[in-house]
């Protein structure tokens, strides 16, 4: 835990933690923040028997019970198919509330990160909850033994009761029933069984739900949302309009890689934002970029910035990890962007408001 809403973790010693689920229910967790001897505060269960945050979240999200004896299982993937894994992190979303009067924290969980020795994976809480709800709704089409456990899981969560080992037992029975080795993630199996096609929707929360505490994850999420956004009829219109407005030139390098008969366009329309409630499929939310610069933009290495109404190419701190030659191929940090590479109409230029959102959501800092 780092700093949240102006509270340092140390200020929260002895506060009681509640958990708000995406369905709106708030439940007790029995968790308190304890200053460990090593100085790093940890959430501890004050119930007997203890029931820690990782086990609570795993049981609620229908994941196998996290266990620490993962040292022997090195190479088995995917992550929830190993003998042991830990739930290493619970991301606190922006809806998390700190009530100083009553010394209560209501956690709005944004994502969890699962770790074993070989890999780590982050899962959006709302995203997985939506998948679970689709399975709940189709539970009656499952074989009786499976259906009964899925309904027990659903009904338990609907009560808003504190999560205990009884919910873990439901999940464990389900896991054993679906996978004789008892190690797998039951959700993909259930989705196939009820005929839910594999979803192309993002599995991560949007970057504004992740915030500053995990920038790498925010950048991965931004790419996921941009890819999702790139599908569909509205996105196809956006792509054509944006590339036309820029004359099929890359905004960053001026390369004209399109508009040639019989050659597939080599420029893409990239979304600046792909995850909020603005009208996203409009040219001012787009950048026309060549393949290299599209990749570098998605990876948050290079971005356009406004200074005094003019646009410049800016390298982020991440770009300092590239070697000089590779950096040089991306352009020159701080170079003005040629007006000839921008749409003729200024109203179609990249929106400053969208760009400011992007910097904030990805916690972008620029090299001095």
Q: Could you list the residues that contact Zn ion (CB under 5 A)?
A: 250, 252-253, 255, 290, 293
Closest by CA position to 209, among listed 365, 107, 6, 361 = 361
217 vs 305 by CB, closer to Zn ion: 305
Collapsed DSSP state (helix, strand, coil) of residue 162 = coil
Query: Please, what is the minimum distance in Å from the beta carbon of residue 255 to Zn ion?
Result: 5
86 vs 292 by CB, closer to Zn ion: 292
Query: Please, what is the minimum distance in Å from the beta carbon of residue 207 to Zn ion?
Result: 23
Q: Are 135 and 187 in contact (CB under 8 A)?
A: yes
CA 74/CA 143 separation, integer angstroms: 34
CA 292/CA 159 separation, integer angstroms: 51
Query: Please, what is the minimum distance in Å from the beta carbon of residue 290 to Zn ion?
Result: 3
CA 288/CA 298 separation, integer angstroms: 13
Collapsed DSSP state (helix, strand, coil) of residue 353 = helix
8 vs 329 by CB, closer to Zn ion: 329
282 vs 292 by CB, closer to Zn ion: 292
Query: Please, what is the minimum distance in Å from the beta carbon of residue 138 to Zn ion?
Result: 46
Query: Please, what is the minimum distance in Å from the beta carbon of residue 32 to Zn ion?
Result: 52
The structure tokens 């409009």 sit at: 282
163 vs 305 by CB, closer to Zn ion: 305
Query: Please, what is the minimum distance in Å from the beta carbon of residue 60 to Zn ion?
Result: 45
CA 358/CA 316 separation, integer angstroms: 13
Residue 181, exposed/middle/buried by CB under 10 A (0-12, 13-18, 19+)?
exposed
136 vs 252 by CB, closer to Zn ion: 252
Query: Please, what is the minimum distance in Å from the beta carbon of residue 194 to Zn ion?
Result: 45
CA 43/CA 66 separation, integer angstroms: 16
103 vs 338 by CB, closer to Zn ion: 338
125 vs 302 by CB, closer to Zn ion: 302
Give the start-end residues of each E strand in the chain: 16-20, 26-34, 42-45, 86-92, 97-99, 104-107, 109-115, 120-124, 267-271, 286-290, 302-307, 310-315
Residues 6+ apart with CB under 8 A from 8: none
Query: Please, what is the minimum distance in Å from the beta carbon of residue 268 to Zn ion?
Result: 10
The structure tokens 């969560």 sit at: 157
């Amino acid at each position: 835990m780092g700093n949240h809403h102006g509270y340092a973790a140390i200020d929260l010693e002895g506060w009681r933690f509640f958990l708000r689920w995406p369905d709106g229910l708030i439940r007790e967790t029995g968790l308190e923040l304890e200053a460990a001897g090593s100085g790093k505060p940890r959430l501890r269960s004050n119930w007997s028997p203890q029931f820690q945050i990782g086990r609570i979240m795993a049981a609620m999200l229908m994941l196998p019970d996290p266990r620490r004896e993962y040292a022997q299982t090195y190479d088995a993937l995917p992550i929830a198919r190993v003998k042991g894994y830990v739930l290493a992190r619970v991301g606190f979303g922006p809806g998390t509330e700190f009530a100083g009067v009553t010394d209560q924290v209501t956690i709005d969980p944004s994502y969890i990160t699962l770790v074993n020795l070989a890999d780590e994976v982050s899962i959006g809480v709302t995203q997985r909850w939506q998948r679970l709800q689709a399975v709940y709704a189709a539970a009656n089409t499952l074989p009786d033994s499976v259906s009964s456990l899925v309904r027990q899981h659903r009904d338990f969560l609907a009560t808003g009761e504190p999560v205990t080992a009884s919910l873990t037992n439901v999940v464990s029975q389900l896991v054993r029933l679906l996978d004789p080795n008892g190690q797998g993630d039951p959700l993909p199996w259930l989705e196939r069984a009820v005929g839910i096609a594999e979803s192309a929707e993002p599995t991560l929360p949007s970057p504004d739900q992740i915030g500053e505490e995990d920038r790498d994850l925010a950048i991965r999420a931004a790419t996921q949302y941009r890819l999702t956004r790139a599908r569909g009829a509205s996105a196809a219109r956006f792509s054509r309009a944006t590339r036309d407005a820029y004359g099929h030139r890359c905004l960053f390098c001026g390369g004209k890689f399109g508009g040639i008969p019989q050659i597939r366009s080599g420029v893409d329309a990239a979304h600046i934002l792909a995850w909020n409630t603005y009208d996203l499929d409009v040219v001012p939310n787009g950048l026309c970029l060549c393949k290299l610069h599209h990749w570098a933009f998605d990876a948050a290495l290079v971005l356009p910035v406004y200074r005094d109404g003019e646009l410049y190419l800016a390298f982020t701190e991440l770009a300092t990890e590239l070697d000089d030659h590779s950096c040089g191929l991306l352009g020159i940090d701080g170079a003005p962007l040629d007006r000839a590479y921008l749409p003729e109409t200024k109203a179609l230029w990249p929106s400053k408001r969208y760009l400011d959102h992007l910097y904030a959501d990805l916690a972008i800092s620029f090299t001095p």
